[in-house]
Amino acid sequence: MNPWWPIFVMLGCAWVLPLAGMKRDQMPWFFFVGIGCLWTVLFLFTRRLYDLGTGLLRRIGWTAMAEWRERMKPHILNPVRLALLIMGMSSFLFAPM
């Protein structure tokens, strides 16, 4: 089993804790909608942003790190996308409460 799944899913679920604190501090609903939109946009462009980061590493000369990222891409990308989706949906759920 891919060891990244439980790590990123737990991180995505842990996003509820700061949301609960912000809700307790009476943040307005549009703040939660904005944060949810941010996570959703990151979810939609995860692969492009990952490739952009790898290209930047190659450009500055860190080829070993870029090659490691390329090897890890199929293992990390899907768990990260799920975590971003969990974070976005939980942010949207906290908005109307």
Q: Is residue 75 part of a domain?
A: yes
| Helices and strands (H and E) in the chain: how many | 5, 0
pTM of the predicted model as reported, rounded to 2 decimal places = 0.89
Query: What is the total count of domains within the chain?
Result: 1
Token digits of residue 28: 């307005």
Q: Determine, yes or no, domain membership for 62.
A: yes
pLDDT in tens, 11-56: 999 999 999 999 999 999 999 999 999 999 999 999 999 999 999 9
Residue 43: domain span: 29-94
Torsion angle of the four alpha carbons 14, 35, 29, 96, in this order, in degrees rounded to the nearest 10: -60
